[in-house]
Structure 1
Amino acid sequence: MASVGNVYNISSVLSLQGFDLSSESSFTAFLFATLSYMIILFCNLILLLTIILNKSLHKPMYLLLLNLPVNDLMGSTALFPHIIKEFILDTKTIEFSSCVTQAFFIHVYGGGAVFILAAMAYDRYMAICVPLRYNTVMTNAHIVKIITGVWVVNFILMAILFYLLLRLPRCKSQLTHSYCDNPSLLQLVCADATINNIYGLFVTAITQVISLGLIFYTYLQILVACFRSNRSDTRSKALHTCATHLIVFLLLECLGLFTIISYRLKNLSAVSRRFIGVTTLIFPPTLNPIIYGIKTKEIRSKIIMLFQKKGFSF
């Protein structure tokens, strides 16, 4: 273990692995990252404005959906500006405080995504399985409580995670990833991190196991209710809405699982592993608003109206 003096004298600037690309490849990667970030900003802001500006969309389902682009914008903004800067300036360093901030919001994004999708699944369960109670239960006050609970629980879980990290002395400054997250920062400490690892597993259990259980239970009940329904139009609409949510959820979970697996494949190149590591922060924020914009008729029609008012034609 490093001495106390070395701990206190450790540099406040961290070194990142980077993507180790040639100058030509770096320019291509810069264009890809910039274009991806612009698409994420454009699509998510359009979805946000569409829901905010149309009172007809101020319903429980869409008020919950409103949180998804907010979360996607937060996660992508935590990552993309740093990566774009790295490609432009060819820098592979980051301030420790900036690294912790980036890691915190990336983890908030990950937890927020599954919590929001779980809340949306609960809303669909109430609408389809107990429709007679829907309007009395899913009031604006109840929706505000759900949204507040999602964000408060998410921020508290992640704040404790990073408090446990920051209390430990740091004796290294070389990160093994191309961006900052809790596991990579934990590798920089020179003390027993057993409590951190246990709490990390606890957070994973809360954000994944409970959310997964809730989502699968609600959609199982929805499928049963749909097949029992005698009205084909109601069944078709319910399945269509649920399919949209499931596509978004499965996209997030599959990319997350693929990322975890990639770090355990020894034959995979370092560059490929780092690229796969950022896919969860590229594809869901890009595809989520597009999927909802295309698959949800009410949102699609309002987006078309929004562009028509601005002078665009479809």
Structure 2
Amino acid sequence: MNSSRVSYFTLAAYLDSGLLRYLFFMLVLSLYLLILCANVLLIVVICMNRSLHEPMYVFLCSLFVNELYGSTGLFPFLLLQILSDVHTVSLPLCFLQIFCVHSYGHVEFMTLAIMSYDRYLAICCPLQYNSIMTVNKVAVLTAVIWLFSVCGILVIVSLTARLKLCGNIINKVYCDNYSLVKLACSDTSVNNIFGLVYMFSIVIGLVVLILYTYVRILKVCFSGSKQTRQKAVSTCTPHLASLLNFSFGAFFEIVQSRFNMSSLNMMLRVLLSLYWLTCQPLFNPVLYGLQMSKIRIMCKNMLWGKKL
């Protein structure tokens, strides 16, 4: 592998914060523990209560599992780097983090897109919903989301691993694929072509699916009863909020990675690059836990020791 000439990378976005590093460490650790507790609580609630074994909650459970996966791919590494005096990462660990971070993003977006399709069926085709969205179909869709994301990112990481790297400075606080591609001094046309085709085909396909489902939902809401509108608002509001939050975070990450953002303060650039990996895993469980009455009631029962 040509990139073996580089054995480690230096993460140049870490600031020399002196004793403040311990404050940053405690803040990041608290955020990580809060994310772990919130997501684990909702996973346990959904798994233990049979009344929540419905397609929507199964997809939510997959979403919460993905939040744990993505957070674990970032936070332990981030905590170690905050306390370290030398901000370096080995080549294998860097590629492992790239795989975790990018596969997390793919699973997140694909799950949110499938959830919009599920809401479309529940609101626009309520009589056929149970026959269309069966247990087997939910299992297949969930498996496809994870397998497709893992396989796609494996190909991307493999294409990056073959590159000859002529530098080892990454201007971020974690490893990402595009930062390594920018360090290459060999031909990156295959990486660029595959990356663009793969990303645009997924993004365009999922965006079309999301737009189609919500256009149909809006049509039903405008022509339907008050009860239908209330059902649509109660089930679609948290999904739309989660989708917009993730999309904005991913957009910030793409812009600051691919364009010269040196005019922005370094701390602001760091926060923008971390937004989609830190806010989304906390935003989802809090949002769904507060907005969805079934989950909210079950969480209260579990926390207060009542039988589920």
Q: Distance in 1 between matches of 2:269 and 2:299?
A: 37
Displacement after TM superposition at 1:21 (Å): 3.1
Tell me, what secondary structure is at the counterpart of 2:76? helix
Which residue in 2 is equivalent to 1:256?
Answer: 250
- Counterpart residue number, 1:77: 72
The code of the aligned residue for 2:274 comes to V
Shift of 1:206: 3.0
Which residue does the alignment assign to 1:271? 267
Q: Which runs of 5+ in 2 are unaligned?
A: none
> What is the distance in 1 between the residues matched to 2:305 and 2:198?
45
Report the more deviating stretch, 118-127 or 13-22. Answer: 13-22
Question: Are the counterparts in 2 of residues 114 and 207 from structure 1 also a CA contact under 8 Å?
Answer: no
Matched, 1:10 2:1: no
The structural deviation recorded for 1:291 is 0.1
- Letter of the 1:253 partner, please give it: S
Residues 310 and 172 (structure 1), Cα distance of their counterparts in 2 relative to 1, 3 Å cut:
farther
The alpha-carbon deviation at position 8 of structure 1 amounts to: 7.4
After superposition, residues 138-287 of structure 1 pair within 5 angstroms as: 138-230=133-225, 232-263=226-257, 264=259, 265-287=261-283
SS in 2 for 1:66: helix
Q: Give distance in 2, aligned partners of 1:271 and 1:100.
A: 24
User: What percentage of residue pairs aligned between the two structures are identical?
Assistant: 33
So what's the TM-score if we normalise by structure 1?
0.92
1:288 equivalent to 2:305? Answer no
* RMSD of Structure 2 on Structure 1 (CA): 1.8
SS at structure 2 position matched to 1:309: coil
- 1:119 aligned to 2:114? yes
Distance 2:27 2:197 in 1: 36
Assess if the C-alpha contact under 8 Å between 1:118 and 1:215 holds in 2.
Answer: yes
Secondary structure of the 1:38 match is: helix
Instruction: Count the aligned residue pairs.
Output: 305
Higher mean C-alpha displacement, 287-296 vs 214-223: 214-223
Taking structure 1 as reference, are residues 80 and 11 closer, same or farther at Cα in structure 2, changes over 3 Å only?
same
Structure 1 gaps, min length 5: none
- The code of the aligned residue for 1:217 comes to Y
Instruction: Summarize the Cα distance change of 1:266–1:172 in structure 2 as closer, same or farther, 3 Å threshold.
Output: closer
- Distance across 1 between alignment mates of 2:295 and 2:206: 26
**How far apart, in 2, do the equivalents of 1:167 and 1:81 lie?**
27
The runs of at least 4 aligned residues of structure 1 exceeding 6 Å deviation read none
Hey, what does 2:129 align to over in structure 1?
A: 134
Asked whether the 8 Å contact 2:25–2:79 carries over to 1, the reply is: yes
